[in-house]
């Protein structure tokens, strides 16, 4: 139990040195570490000046490149930032899904022999189909049920409810149960798309977590402007290329009555109406990449994107067959641009121009490249935490940790003498290892997380107290210092492991079922449990073994 061969000592030193190296960057600024700062959030002079100062510091840094530079990510309550609670509308998800299935419905009814019917018009989550011949009813129902997609984990439920409501009328709809299931399925997709929009480079600290089946919590530490996030997420991002008709007489007729079958009346960014074909030539799923660019005519900001092979071929063929016609680039029901086709456009490279600022063009490119949301997000709660409040929380948490550490250290030395000081040393190593693990894992530290660290300090000392009390009892029974220490550690091991394993299970449950700050507490608690067992049962024992070997005391002052 007190035998530490060279390989064990080397392993202990490797762990301690690793923890120290990972924790050290938290004591320095990003500029000192040579880390380039983020782009300024605004064009304000103070933001630009701060950015340039940090860039200069990063360029002058002498920090070795082989050493780590990762820091503990600070949560919203410590760094300040934006908190948004969003809601998914199940009815809108269902309506959008039904709209995408219309192509399959039309193709099914168009198969030979053709089933004659009126042009169906979707009404929310329902699609009435009026057949012209009652004899086609059974065949139409059979075809529609064959293409009805499944939903749910078991695959036993169907998306569409297909009912006969008359001798020549079929009602296709999405049931309430299917709407809830679609919303739950859409939640995971939306989280992925939201992350792509807010963090296209994968380097920010944005936290996006589900809440229930239809809500999503978004936390953006360090973000000062909630309007920017809401603008980015407020658009579904549904991009389509549609053939259009700007003939004024046709537009006037559509405004006076209703658009002709297969068309809809949309307006461009200047409010001008235009008839647009409902069937898109290209959709957002055909886009391979998007980026912010420049209009070659006046160098104004624009959005460039490239179509994939299928989309480029379809777009090129359509433009070749419709020279002189207008096609509309439609984003979320608004015409962004409506150029005239002067010549075929092959290659799949397209540009959207407009009255964009540089940031608006970049945000739009991120929205397009991230993909279309299954539905728009409804913002139901918004909070902004100022950086000053976060700094106060950090100061309070740091003071609490230091006071707790000092009080525990004084108690251990008074109660257990020299061996108690070994526990204090391992306690300091424990805190360093926790910070190193948080930095290395890229975990986020929240205010409850600091509470978890303070709790860990007490738990780590508790393990040492159990061991020392067993050693004290063994020495009272007449054992020598060495045998008393060996017996103390052996008999305390099961108790320490039982207590920490049960606490670790509780932390795991908190992490799996909790969200936001609760998860932050669970992470630091779980890491602290592992490091506490290591420092209490390995590091302190190593210190004690070295002291016994060197001092050879006849009796322990404990």
CATH number of the domain enclosing 491: 1.20.1640.10
Residues 302, 252 share a domain:
yes
**144 plus 247 within the same structural domain:** no
486 shares its domain with 500: yes
**Spatial separation of the C-alpha atoms in residues 209 and 9, rounded to whole Å:** 42
Question: Distance between alpha carbon 472 and the CA centroid of its chain, in Å?
Answer: 51
Note whether residue 214 is domain-resident: yes
Is 72 domain-assigned? no
Tokens at residue 126, please? 């329902």
Domain that holds residue 130: 81-233
Both 209 and 249 in one domain: the answer is no
pLDDT, tens digit only, all 558 positions of the chain: 677 888 999 999 999 999 999 999 888 877 777 766 666 555 556 666 666 666 666 666 777 877 888 888 887 777 878 889 999 888 888 888 888 888 788 888 888 888 888 877 888 889 999 998 988 899 999 999 988 888 866 666 788 899 998 888 999 998 888 888 888 888 888 888 888 888 776 556 688 888 888 899 988 887 777 888 888 888 777 888 888 877 777 677 677 677 887 788 888 777 788 888 888 888 888 888 888 888 888 888 888 888 888 888 888 888 898 888 888 888 888 888 888 888 888 888 888 777 778 877 888 888 888 888 888 888 998 888 776 666 777 788 788 888 888 888 898 899 888 888 999 999 999 999 999 999 888 777 888 888 888 888 888 888 889 999 998 888 888 888 888 888 888 888 888 889 889 999 999 998 888 766 788 888 899 999 999 999 988 999 999 988 888 888 878 777
Q: What residues have CB less than 8 Å from 34, skipping those under 6 apart?
A: 58, 61, 63, 65, 69
Same domain, 106 and 250: no
Residues 6+ away with beta carbon under 8 Å from 397: 78, 447, 450, 451, 454
Q: What is the pLDDT of residue 11?
A: 93
Report how far apart, in Å, the C-alpha atoms of 7 and of each of 11, 231, 372, 530 are: 6, 57, 55, 21
Q: pLDDT value at position 20? A: 93
**Residue 406 maps to a domain:** yes
Query: What CATH number does residue 302 fall under?
Result: 3.30.1360.200
Same domain, 219 and 244: no
Out of 179, 202, 233, pick the residue that ends a domain: 233
* Beta partners for residue 291, in sequence order: 304
Q: Structurally, how many domains does the chain consist of?
A: 3
Measured in whole angstroms, the distance separating CA 151 from the mean position of its chain's CA atoms is 25
Is the same domain home to 272 and 366? Answer: yes
Chain position carrying tokens 């592992």: 530
Q: Could you give the CA distance from residue 319 to residue 123 in angstroms, rounded to a whole number?
A: 32
- Residues 406 and 497 grouped into a single domain: yes
Q: Do residues 376 and 394 both lie within one domain?
A: no
Residue 154 lies in a domain: yes
pLDDT value at position 117?
85
C-alpha torsion 435→441→447→450, nearest 10: -30
- Do 394 and 375 lie in one domain? The reply is no
Residue 53 included in any domain = no
- The reply to whether 557 falls in a domain is no
* Residue where a domain terminates, one of 352, 382, 412: 382
Determine the Cα–Cα distance for residues 111 and 107; give it in Å rounded to an integer: 6
Does the pTM surpass 0.75? The reply is: no
- The CA distance from 468 to 532, in Å, is 15
264 assigned to some structural domain: yes
Compute the distance between CA of residue 43 and CA of residue 40 in angstroms, rounded to an integer: 7
pLDDT given for residue 49 in this prediction: 65
> Of 183, 217, 233, which one is at a domain's C-terminal end?
233
Is 216 part of a structural domain of the chain?
A: yes
Residues 6+ apart with CB under 8 A from 264: 275, 276, 278
For residues 361 and 399, state if they share a domain: no
State whether 164 and 274 are in the same domain. no
């Amino acid at each position: 139990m007190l035998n530490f061969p060279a390989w064990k000592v080397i392993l202990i030193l490797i762990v301690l040195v690793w923890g120290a190296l990972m924790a050290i960057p938290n004591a320095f600024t990003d500029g000192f570490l040579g880390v380039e700062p983020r782009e300024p959030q605004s064009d304000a002079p103070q933001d630009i000046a701060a950015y340039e100062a940090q860039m200069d510091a990063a360029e002058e840094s002498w920090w070795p490149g082989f050493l780590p530079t990762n820091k503990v990510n600070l949560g919203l309550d410590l760094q300040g930032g934006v908190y948004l609670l969003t809601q998914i509308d199940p009815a809108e998800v269902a309506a959008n899904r039904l709209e995408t299935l219309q192509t399959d419905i039309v193709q099914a009814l168009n198969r030979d022999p053709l089933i004659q019917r009126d042009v169906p018009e979707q009404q929310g989550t329902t699609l009435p189909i009026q057949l012209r011949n009652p004899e086609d009813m059974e065949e139409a129902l059979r075809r529609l049920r064959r293409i009805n997609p499944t939903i749910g984990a078991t695959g036993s439920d169907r998306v569409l409810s297909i009912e006969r409501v008359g001798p020549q009328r079929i009602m296709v709809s999405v049931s309430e149960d299917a709407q809830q299931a679609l919303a739950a399925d859409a939640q995971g997709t939306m989280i992925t798309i939201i992350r792509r929009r807010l963090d296209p480079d994968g380097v920010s600290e944005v936290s996006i977590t589900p809440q229930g089946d239809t809500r999503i919590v978004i936390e953006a530490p360090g973000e000062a402007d909630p309007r920017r996030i809401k603008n980015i997420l407020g658009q579904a991002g549904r991009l389509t290329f549609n053939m259009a008709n700007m003939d004024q007489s046709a537009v006037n007729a559509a405004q006076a009555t209703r658009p002709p079958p297969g068309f809809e009346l949309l307006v461009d960014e200047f409010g001008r109406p235009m008839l647009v074909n409902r069937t898109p030539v290209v959709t957002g799923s055909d886009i391979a990449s998007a980026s912010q660019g420049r209009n070659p005519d006046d160098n104004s900001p624009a959005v460039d994107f490239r179509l994939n092979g299928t989309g480029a071929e379809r777009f090129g063929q359509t433009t070749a067959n419709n020279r002189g016609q207008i096609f509309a680039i439609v984003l979320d029901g608004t015409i962004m641009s409506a150029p005239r086709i002067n010549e075929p456009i092959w290659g799949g490279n397209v540009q959207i121009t407009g009255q964009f600022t540089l940031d608006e063009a970049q945000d739009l490119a991120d929205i397009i490249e991230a993909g279309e949301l299954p539905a728009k997000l409804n913002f139901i709660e918004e909070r902004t935490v100022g950086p000053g409040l976060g700094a106060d929380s950090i100061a309070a948490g740091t003071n609490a940790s230091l006071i707790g550490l000092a009080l525990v250290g004084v108690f251990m030395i008074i109660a257990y003498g020299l061996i108690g000081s070994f526990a204090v040393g391992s306690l300091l190593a424990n805190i360093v290892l926790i910070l190193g693990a948080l930095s290395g894992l890229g975990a986020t530290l929240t205010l409850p997380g600091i509470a978890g660290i303070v709790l860990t300090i007490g738990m780590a000392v508790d393990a040492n107290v159990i061991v020392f009390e067993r050693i004290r009892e063994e020495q009272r029974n007449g054992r020598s210092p060495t045998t008393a220490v060996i017996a103390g550690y052996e008999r305390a091991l099961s108790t320490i492991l039982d207590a920490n394993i049960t606490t670790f299970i509780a932390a795991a449950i908190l992490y799996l079922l909790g969200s936001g700050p609760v998860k932050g507490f669970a992470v630091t608690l779980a890491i602290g449990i592992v490091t506490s067992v290591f420092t209490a049962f390995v590091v302190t024992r190593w210190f004690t073994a070295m002291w016994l070997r060197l001092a050879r005391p006849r009796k322990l002052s404990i």
